[in-house]
């Protein structure tokens, strides 16, 4: 005999749990199925263990999608303030780190505990370590789910199994296969918020810089971010690189301006006037880490005294520091990507409910949908918001 529910949610991640809570609070009987041993594994490791659970500035402009308008409705109906109210009602201490990014003071586990407590009080059944073997529509309406733990039926099926990022943590791309099973269109998936790699030659030149971080403005076409860049032994990382990686495509160039708030040319001229006997490297080291100053000064062949360098040479050095073109060779891929770009094409979903327009009772939410946020709490806000609106409708 199949266990019968009003709603079955596949995936006990951020989006799935939020959806289950909302549907349960509406009096719907809800079952959440997950193959993992614990709910919310990605929440646990997020934000360096403190979970950057939302961003107070989150709005549609912070998301990438083939349809930039799609996220508007859900984001408006469940805002960062709404999530914060839930956090505060559970007495979880939080702080704003930077740029509107809200983190737990203590541990990301507080957020998981909050969500599992909420599910329990909303009467939601949670079954972990459960493999999903088959999904079939039932004639006359509803869905039958065959699992390693039995067969279940429900009028509504919500797919919240996330994307492909971090396969080591159980990411499977399962949602895309379900979408294909139901004949739904997909936007090509690719890793997002991911470190970028460099070709061996450039990597060798930059090897001495490994471990150095610097504030930068990083640009790809019209998109720019001001955050920190980190040189690593594999290439480039840090928040600035993760942000731009979601916009970057194979073969594209990005432009890096190191210390964007400083006019390096003016600074170099002033240094020359103040002390003509110092080297350009020494002058640059006033604003850049020493090894970085050395890299740029040597790269531009700036040896000798500043007094011997004309304005043109100083301009060239300033341009090397603040208009540095870099052509990454690739990305580190899903192994380390924080998110998956692309996914279930939003044209087939109702933006108010996340329900498939042509298939009653079937919903897709969270990361598996073609809506991807910037770094900084935006992706969880999308998971909460899309989960909430689906939970209102399922």
**Among 23, 75, 160, 203, interactor with ligand FDA by CB under 6 A:** 160
232: nearest Cα among 209, 252, 264, 255: 209
| Cα–Cα distance, 310 to 268 (Å, whole number) | 11
- 367 touches ligand FDA by CB under 6 A: yes
- Rounded to a whole number of angstroms, the minimum distance from the CB of residue 32 to ligand FDA is 9
Closer residue to ligand FDA in complex, CB, 132/306: 132
Under the criterion CB under 6 A, does residue 241 sit at the interface with ligand FDA?
Answer: no
- Piece of the chain touching ligand FDA by CB under 6 A; list 34-42, 210-218, 259-267, 354-362: 34-42
- String of contacts with ligand FDA for each residue 37-76, x by CB under 6 A: ----xx--xxx---xx------------------------
HSE at residue 167, side-chain half, CA atoms within 13 A, is 8
Q: Of all residues in this chain, which one has the CB nearest to ligand FDA in the complex?
A: 13
- What are the b/e assignments for 160-185, b being 16+ CB within 10 Å? bbbbbbbeeebbebbbbebbeebebe
Our CB check for ligand FDA shows the closer of 267 and 339 to be 339
Count CB neighbours of 222 within 10 A.
6
| 243 contacts ligand FDA (rule: CB under 6 A) | no
Binding segment (CB under 6 A) for ligand FDA, from list 33-41, 205-213, 276-284, 292-300: 33-41
CA gap 235, 232 in Å, rounded: 5
Whole-number Å distance between alpha carbons of 221 and 157: 40
Residue of 158, 152, 157 lying closest to 131 (CA atoms): 152
The 10 Å Cβ neighbour count of residue 271 is: 20
Q: How far is the CB of 280 from ligand FDA (least distance, A)?
A: 40
Residue span binding ligand FDA (CB under 6 A) among the ranges 76-84, 164-172, 238-246, 313-321: 164-172
Q: What token pair was written down for 230?
A: 């980190």
Q: Which residue has the tokens 């770009």?
A: 341
3-state secondary structure of 364: strand
Handedness of CA 240, 244, 250, 256 (dihedral sign): negative
Closest contact distance (angstroms) between CB of 132 and ligand FDA is: 5
Produce one character per residue of 92-115: b if its CB has 16 or more CB atoms within 10 Å, e if not.
Answer: bebeeeeebbbbbeeebebbbebb
Closest approach of Cβ 188 to ligand FDA, in Å? 18
Q: Please give the residues from 322 up to 351 whose contact with ligand FDA meets the rule CB under 6 A.
A: 338-339
> Minimum distance from CB of 11 to ligand FDA (Å)?
3
Site for ligand FDA in 180-239 (CB under 6 A): none
Q: By CB under 6 A, is residue 110 in contact with ligand FDA?
A: no
Q: Applying CB under 6 A, does 179 fall inside the site for ligand FDA?
A: no
The verdict on 166 binding ligand FDA (CB under 6 A) reads yes
Identify any residues that bridge with 144 across adjacent strands, giving them in sequence order.
136, 153
Residue from 361, 359, 379, 358 nearest 369 by CA = 379
Rounded Cα–Cα distance for residues 130 and 149 (Å): 6
Least distance from C-beta 391 to ligand FDA, angstroms? Answer: 13
Asked whether 113 and 86 are in contact (CB, 8 A), the reply is no
Told to check if 245 binds ligand FDA by CB under 6 A, we report no
Q: Which of 217, 164, 172, 214 is nearest to 194 (CA)?
A: 164
Q: Binding to ligand FDA by residue 11, rule CB under 6 A? A: yes
The contact mask relative to ligand FDA for 248-277 (x = CB under 6 A, - = no) is ------------------------------
Q: Which of 143, 142, 141, 169 is nearest to 34 (CA)?
A: 169
- Decide: is 34 part of the binding site for ligand FDA (CB under 6 A): yes
Q: Is 380 in the site for ligand FDA (CB under 6 A)?
A: yes
Q: Is 170 in the site for ligand FDA (CB under 6 A)?
A: yes
Shortest reach from residue 243's CB to ligand FDA, in Å? 13
The distance from CA 146 to its chain's CA centroid, rounded to whole angstroms, is 32
Give the binding site for ligand FDA (CB under 6 A).
Answer: 10-16, 34-36, 41-42, 45-47, 51-52, 132, 160-162, 165-166, 170, 172, 174, 338-339, 366-367, 377-380, 383
């Amino acid at each position: 005999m199949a266990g019968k529910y009003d709603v079955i949610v596949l995936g006990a991640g951020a989006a799935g749990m939020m959806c289950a809570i909302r549907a349960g609070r509406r009096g719907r009987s809800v079952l959440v199925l997950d193959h993992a041993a614990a709910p919310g594994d990605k929440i646990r490791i997020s934000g360096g263990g403190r979970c950057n659970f939302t961003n107070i500035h989150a709005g549609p402009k912070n998301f990438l999608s083939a349809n930039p308008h799609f996220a508007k409705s859900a984001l408006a109906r469940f805002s960062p303030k709404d999530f914060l109210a839930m956090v505060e009602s559970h007495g979880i201490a939080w702080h704003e780190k930077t740029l509107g990014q809200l983190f737990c003071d203590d541990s990301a586990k507080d957020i998981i505990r909050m969500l599992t407590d909420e599910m329990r009080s909303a009467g939601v059944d949670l079954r972990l370590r459960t493999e999903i073997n088959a999904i079939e529509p039932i004639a006359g309406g509803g869905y039958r789910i065959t699992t390693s733990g039995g067969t279940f039926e429900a009028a509504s099926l919500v797919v919240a199994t996330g994307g492909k990022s971090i396969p080591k943590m159980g990411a499977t791309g399962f949602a895309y296969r379900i979408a294909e099973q139901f004949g739904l269109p997909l936007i090509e998936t690719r890793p997002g918020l991911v470190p970028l790699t460099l070709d061996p030659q450039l990597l060798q030149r930059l090897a001495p810089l490994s471990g150095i971080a610097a504030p930068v403005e990083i640009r790809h076409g019209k998109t720019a971010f001001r955050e920190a860049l980190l040189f690593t032994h594999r290439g480039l990382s840090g928040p600035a690189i993760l942000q731009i990686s979601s916009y970057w495509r194979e073969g594209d160039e990005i432009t890096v301006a190191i210390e964007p708030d400083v006019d390096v040319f003016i600074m170099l001229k002033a240094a020359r006037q103040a002390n003509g006997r110092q080297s350009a490297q020494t002058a640059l080291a006033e604003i850049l880490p020493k090894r970085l100053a050395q890299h740029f000064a040597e790269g531009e062949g700036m040896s000798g005294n500043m007094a011997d360098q004309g304005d043109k040479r100083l301009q060239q050095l300033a341009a090397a520091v603040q208009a540095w073109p870099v052509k990454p060779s690739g990305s580190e891929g899903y192994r380390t990507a924080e998110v998956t770009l692309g996914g279930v094409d939003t044209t087939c979903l109702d933006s108010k409910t996340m329900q498939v327009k042509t298939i009653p009772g079937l919903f897709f939410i969270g990361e598996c949908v073609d809506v991807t946020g910037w770094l900084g709490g935006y992706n969880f806000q999308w998971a909460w918001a899309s989960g909430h609106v689906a939970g209102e409708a399922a």
